[in-house]
């Protein structure tokens, strides 16, 4: 188990996600999958203590992806694309005050997001489509899947975040989440503002998680999550954004523990209408750009 999987497992346990356990490296889970001729093992699994009591399609799978940011900062990776994203980003960061161009990370090209989408679709195929099951004469695809994008931003001190590459990659993943959704994303814009401001809140209550509802056209699984880990005064803090497919919950009878957990989690959360939230732009400044790009 890598650090990213361990960190995500820790936060899910902290917020009482039901029956969560290791998938990869868990001999009991792996042996059960093999006995059912299922060839893949996600990073984490939610299910009963005796895993064999649940059918494969009924188990809830969670897979963890830790975006490297290579495509944004490494010339070799960026050259695989039609547009050199690394070169464009470098120009943006080195010229933040050129008002005539109104430069912003949010104005970057988005062609590279297809690479992000390819990774996401592969996970959907492995962990959802490969778990098709029969309901009478109908063949269905399980929606019992969550994908977590994990970002460890390192130490936060005096409002400075130590891992600048990861911070920029995080902002780019917020852009990616907006681009894959067909719905209007005003609520996601607000959520991004809130989370980025919370990163430098020295009085943060932990964990800090924003939850937004989505439908089938935006999200072909139960949830997508951005998980952020920071360290302040030698203590770890967790922040996150969870996009939940409420279309699934609306049709659920809540006999699945994860569906029931999400319903209760949303009900117990503080509801704030996004029209009432401040919409200030976030400006990120850097003292040096020389060591960002390779």
Structural domain contains residue 99: no
Backbone angles phi and psi of 122, in degrees to 5: -65, -40
- Single pTM value for the model: 0.88
Q: What is the number of domains present in the chain?
A: 1
Structural domain contains residue 74: no
Quote the tokens at residue 78: 């960026």
Cross-strand pairs, 156 = 161
Indicate the helix (H) or strand (E) that contains 197. helix 186-198
Structural domain contains residue 104: no
Query: What does the DSSP 8-state code read for residue 271?
Result: P
Structural domain contains residue 97: no
Count the Cβ atoms, other than its own, within 10 Å of residue 218: 19
Structural domain contains residue 32: yes
The position carrying tokens 């799978």 is 61
Along the 294 residues of the chain, how does pLDDT read in single tens digits?
679 999 999 999 999 999 999 999 999 999 999 999 888 999 999 999 999 999 888 899 999 999 988 888 877 766 666 677 887 777 777 765 555 444 567 777 888 899 999 999 999 989 988 887 666 677 767 888 999 999 999 999 888 888 988 998 999 999 999 888 877 778 888 888 889 889 988 888 778 999 988 887 778 788 999 999 999 989 999 999 999 988 888 888 888 999 999 999 888 876 655 554 555 555 555 555 555 555
Structural domain contains residue 89: no
Domain boundaries, position 125 = 3-68+110-276
Identify the burial level of 167 via C-beta atoms within 10 angstroms of its C-beta, where 0-12 means exposed, 13-18 middle and 19 or more buried. Answer: buried
Structural domain contains residue 233: yes
For the chain, the C-alpha Rg in angstroms (whole number) is 20
Q: Can you tell me the distance from the alpha carbon of 47 to that of 231, in angstroms, rounded to the nearest whole number?
A: 31
Q: Can you tell me the distance from the alpha carbon of 179 to that of 181, in angstroms, rounded to the nearest whole number?
A: 5
* Residues constituting the chain: 294
Structural domain contains residue 232: yes
């Amino acid at each position: 188990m890598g650090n990213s999987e361990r960190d995500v497992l820790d936060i899910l346990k902290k917020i009482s996600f039901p029956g969560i356990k290791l998938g990869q490296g868990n001999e009991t889970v792996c042996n059960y999958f093999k006995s059912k001729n299922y060839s893949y093992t996600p990073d984490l699994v939610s299910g009963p203590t005796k895993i064999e009591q649940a059918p494969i399609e009924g188990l809830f799978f969670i897979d963890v992806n830790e975006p490297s940011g290579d495509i944004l900062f490494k010339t070799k990776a960026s050259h695989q694309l039609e547009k050199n994203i690394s070169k464009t980003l470098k120009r943006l960061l080195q010229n933040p005050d050129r008002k005539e161009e109104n430069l912003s990370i949010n104005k970057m090209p988005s062609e590279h997001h297809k690479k992000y989408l390819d990774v996401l679709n592969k996970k959907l195929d492995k962990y959802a489509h490969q778990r098709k099951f029969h309901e009478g004469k109908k063949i269905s695809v399980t929606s019992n899947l969550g994908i977590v994008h994990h970002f460890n931003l390192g130490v936060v001190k005096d409002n400075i975040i130590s891992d600048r590459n990861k911070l920029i990659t995080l902002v780019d993943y917020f852009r990616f989440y907006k681009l894959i959704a067909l719905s209007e994303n005003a609520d996601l814009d607000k959520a991004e503002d809130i989370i980025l401001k919370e990163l430098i809140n020295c009085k943060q209550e932990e964990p800090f998680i924003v939850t937004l509802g989505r439908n089938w056209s935006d999200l072909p699984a139960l949830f997508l999550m951005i998980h952020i880990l920071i360290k302040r005064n030698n203590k770890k803090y967790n922040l996150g954004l969870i996009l939940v497919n409420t279309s699934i919950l609306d049709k659920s009878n809540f006999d699945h523990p994860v569906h029931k957990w999400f319903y209760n989690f949303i009900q117990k959360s503080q509801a704030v209408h996004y029209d009432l939230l401040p919409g200030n732009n976030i400006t990120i400044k850097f003292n040096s750009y020389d060591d960002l790009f390779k």
